[in-house]
Structure 1
């Protein structure tokens, strides 16, 4: 009979930020408070391309009004984990008129040791 003696669970996250372009979406869209397109208009645009695949998360930040994120990412890691990371890194380059798209790759690693 095998028994588990050690468990280890890690997540490796790679975040890539670029300027907004057409087509507009990757995994994340960071919308500035004075961006030419607001979060609701961005959601409508996204829903045309990928219905019900993205969620708008409004945040409190000096320059950023909202994060629009692919729901599949939120199935892998919680909002409480992902949003602060996106805001921290995106907030370094975003100004209030910015619309930034971000590509995010999440790799979950699980390691276990068992007794034989």
Structure 2
């Protein structure tokens, strides 16, 4: 009996739409990530021109942070980076690129006026 005739296979296939860039809010670059800050910045310039701001940071593991301008309309970059330094940077290794979903809700205590 020919062995080639007895072969069988199964395929499980799935796919989904992606958006470029493959994140929406914030990207953190480790100091030794393969693409580097300039490479990522140039990629953004082609994929989504004028949508992200780049900030170099002083940290032992992190080189730069890219923040969507949409997020910057709600909170300033210094406060965002302060939050990231406290909550995210400790978990970033030098060779990583980390995507951060930064969802924010704004509340007002009282809005007064006359009817």
Structure (1/2) with the larger strand percentage: 1
Higher relative contact order (CA 8 A, sep 6+): 1
TM-score by length of 1: 0.73
Q: Which runs of 5+ in 1 are unaligned?
A: 1-21
Alignment of 1:37-76 (within 5 A): 37-76=35-74
CA distance in 2, matches of 1:32, 1:77: 23
CA distance in 2, matches of 1:23, 1:44: 12
* Alignment: residue pair count: 95
The answer to whether the 8 A contact 2:21-2:47 is kept is no
> Is 1:107 matched with 2:105?
yes
**Pair 113,76 (structure 1): closer, same or farther in 2 beyond 3 Å:** closer
Number of the residue aligned with 2:15: none
Q: Which runs of 5+ in 2 are unaligned?
A: 1-19
User: CA-to-partner distance for each residue in 1:14-62, whole Å, 9 max, x for gaps?
Assistant: xxxxxxxx75332111000001111111111122221100011000000
Q: Quote the RMSD (CA, aligned, Å).
A: 1.9
TM-score by length of 2: 0.74
Runs of 4+ in 1 over 4 A off after TM superposition: 113-116
- The structural deviation recorded for 1:68 is 0.5
| Structure of larger gyration radius | 2
